[in-house]
C-alpha cells in the first residue's frame, strides 16, 4: 500500500494516500476498513429494529426514524472517520445496485433497476459464439428477474422487457420460451408461474443453494485457450488424443 507508483504525462508519481484502483488488495483492505468503521452504525440500526446492508461502498438502510433524526445521525457518522464521508439518498424508494426497493404500505416492494442510459444489447444470436453462452444469458437474466421481483406483475413486466431485448438481438421467440421453461425445470418447478403460486415458487428459487465453485487441480488439468470458431469444436478432443499418444510414447511405468 505504501509502494504505489504510476506515470502520467511523462512524470512519475508516488501515491501517498489510498490504494490503486482495480487492485484486488485495495478492495480487500477497503472492505476490512469498512467492517471496523460500520460496527457502531450496525449496532445502532439493529437496536432500533432496522436493516443494514453494505456492498463495498454502497450502503442500504431501512429504518423507521424521523427524517430529521436520520440526517442528524448521518452527520454524526460522518465524524467517525475523516477518510469516509457518507452521502445520503433518503426516501420511501431507493435504487441499490441493480435492485429497486420501495416501501408500499409498510411492505418492501422490489424489482430490477436499470440505469436511464441502459440499452438492451446482448450477445447477438447470430454470432459465432457457442450456443451454451447464449442460453446462459437468458438463464442468468431470468433468474435475476425471479429473485428481484417481489410481485407476479413485476416479474411479468421485467420478463417481457427481457424478451423484447432478446428479440432485438435476433433470438428466436421459440428459443427464448424454451430457456424460460428450462429455468423452472432446473428448480423442479413443473407448473407455469401464476399470481397464486408465484410467491411460493419464488421463495423456492431464492432458497436454493448456490452451486459451489469446483476446485481445479492445475497439476492434473491443462487448459488451452483459443479464439472460438465453429470449426474448432473438435479441437479439445483432438488435443486430448494427441496428449494421450504423447504420454504413451514417452512415459514408461
Residue 173 placed within a domain = yes
Rg over CA atoms, the chain:
25
Of the residues 90, 122, 151, the one at which a domain ends: 90
Name which of 107, 171, 106, 114 is nearest 145 in CA terms: 114
Residue 99 placed within a domain = no
Task: Give the Cα separation of 230 and 234 in Å (integer).
Answer: 9
Each residue's pLDDT tens digit, 224-239:
777 767 666 677 777 7
Name which of 4, 41, 6 is nearest 19 in CA terms: 4
Residue 156 placed within a domain = yes
**Are 15 and 65 part of one and the same domain?**
yes
Task: Tell me the longest C-alpha to C-alpha distance in the chain.
Answer: 79
Task: Give the Cα separation of 249 and 253 in Å (integer).
Answer: 12
Each residue's pLDDT tens digit, 113-143:
998 888 889 999 999 888 999 999 999 999 9
The C-alpha cell at 175 is: 428459443
Predicted confidence at residue 253, as pLDDT, reads 53
Read off the pTM.
0.75
Residue 114: other Cβ atoms inside 10 A: 14
The helix (H) or strand (E) run that includes residue 101 is strand 99-104
**To the nearest 5 percent, what fractions of the chain are helix, strand and coil?**
45, 15, 40
Predicted confidence at residue 1, as pLDDT, reads 67
Q: In terms of residue numbers, what domain contains 167?
A: 131-207
Whether pLDDT at 176 is above 70? yes
Of the residues 170, 190, 207, the one at which a domain ends: 207
Amino acid at each position: 500500500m505504501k509502494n504505489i507508483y504510476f506515470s502520467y504525462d511523462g512524470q512519475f508519481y508516488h501515491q501517498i494516500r489510498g490504494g490503486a484502483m482495480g487492485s484486488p488488495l485495495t478492495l480487500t483492505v477497503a472492505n476490512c476498513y469498512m467492517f471496523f468503521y460500520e460496527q457502531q452504525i450496525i449496532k445502532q440500526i439493529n437496536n432500533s429494529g432496522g436493516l443494514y446492508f453494505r456492498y463495498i461502498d454502497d450502503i442500504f438502510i431501512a429504518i423507521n426514524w424521523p427524517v430529521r433524526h436520520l440526517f442528524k445521525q448521518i452527520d454524526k457518522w460522518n465524524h467517525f472517520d475523516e477518510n469516509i464521508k457518507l452521502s445520503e439518498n433518503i426516501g420511501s424508494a431507493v435504487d441499490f445496485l441493480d435492485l429497486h426497493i420501495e416501501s408500499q404500505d409498510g411492505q418492501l416492494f422490489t424489482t430490477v433497476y436499470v440505469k436511464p442510459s441502459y440499452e438492451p444489447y446482448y450477445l447477438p444470436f447470430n454470432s459465432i459464439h457457442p450456443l451454451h453462452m447464449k442460453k446462459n444469458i437468458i438463464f442468468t437474466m431470468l433468474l435475476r428477474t425471479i429473485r428481484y421481483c417481489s410481485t407476479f406483475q413485476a416479474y411479468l413486466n421485467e420478463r417481457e422487457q427481457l424478451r423484447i431485448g432478446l428479440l432485438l438481438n435476433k433470438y428466436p421467440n421459440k428459443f427464448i420460451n424454451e430457456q424460460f421453461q428450462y429455468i423452472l425445470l432446473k428448480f423442479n418447478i413443473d407448473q407455469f408461474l401464476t399470481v397464486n403460486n408465484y410467491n411460493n415458487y419464488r421463495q423456492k428459487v431464492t432458497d436454493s443453494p448456490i452451486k459451489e465453485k469446483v476446485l481445479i487441480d492445475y497439476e492434473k488439468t491443462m487448459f488451452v485457450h483459443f479464439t472460438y470458431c465453429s470449426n474448432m469444436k473438435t479441437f479439445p478432443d483432438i488435443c486430448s488424443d494427441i496428449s494421450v499418444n504423447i504420454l504413451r510414447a514417452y512415459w514408461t511405468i
